[in-house]
Amino acid sequence: MTALLDHPVTDADGWAAARAALREEEKALTAAMDRVAALRRRMPWRPVTQDYRFVTEAGPAGLADLFDGRRQLIVYHHMLRPADPAPCSGCSMMADQLPHLAHLHARDTSLTMVSRAPLAEILAFRKRMGWTMPWAETTDSFNTDMGMGERGPGFTVYIRDGDRIWLSYATTGRGTETGTVWSLLDMTPMGRQEDWQDAPDWVPRTPPYAWWRLHDSY
């Protein structure tokens, strides 16, 4: 209790002044995050030309299939390995925080996890954790080619135009500390697609809040 008693204490006016000073720092941080997201949207893209293969609940699939008809794809490389005796707690904590995917879908964006473990083991672990997100088995060099090592962890982000697919962004380490609709969309080339954001001219936009729905109402 000594450390608690040593912490600074003030009256209501002093607390309000300290909060106002901190709020200025928080606003500066938000502005900096918006600038970084804008830079991320303008990064050059890397073509994906190899026919990477996956095993999904619907059967064998290519990378294009993981988009599920949408223009953007966010992939989380979960470290689950074959016959994993100790599934990664960090990857799984991240997965616990993923939002309802209907909100991403409303912005033409799909999300899936991929792992080296066989699909049957993936689905068994997903059921144990109470998750419902798409999750596929990787069967080739996809993880390593995307800069994720043999198993991950990390996010990679893709955009497609017809049969053409590009890698637009990747992050590992503390870059995976995300879990909101907004922070995930900020990883993508089109971002939140709201009219305030700094984005290339081809990105569609709507006013903020205008596209938000209850997740069963899109």
Confidence of residue 179 (pLDDT cuts 50, 70, 90): confident
Inside any domain, residue 54: yes
208 in any annotated domain = no
Does residue 35 fall inside a structural domain? no
Tell whether 3 is covered by a domain.
no
Q: In whole numbers, what is the pLDDT of the chain averaged over residues?
A: 96
In the chain, the percentage of residues whose pLDDT exceeds 90 is 95
| Number of independent structural domains in the chain | 1
Q: Residue 80 belongs to a domain with what CATH number?
A: 3.40.30.10
CA distances from 69 to 98, 146, 159, 160, 163 (A): 21, 22, 11, 10, 11
CA distances for 141 relative to 25, 168, 171, 186, 199, angstroms: 43, 18, 18, 27, 32
| pTM, full prediction | 0.95
Domain containing 139: what range?
42-185
Judge whether 178 lies within some domain: yes
- Residue at 191 is within a domain: no
Give the model's pLDDT for residue 6: 84
DSSP symbol at 81: -
pLDDT grade for 88, boundaries at 50, 70 and 90? very high
* Residues facing 76 on adjacent strands: 113, 155
Residue 16 maps to a domain: no
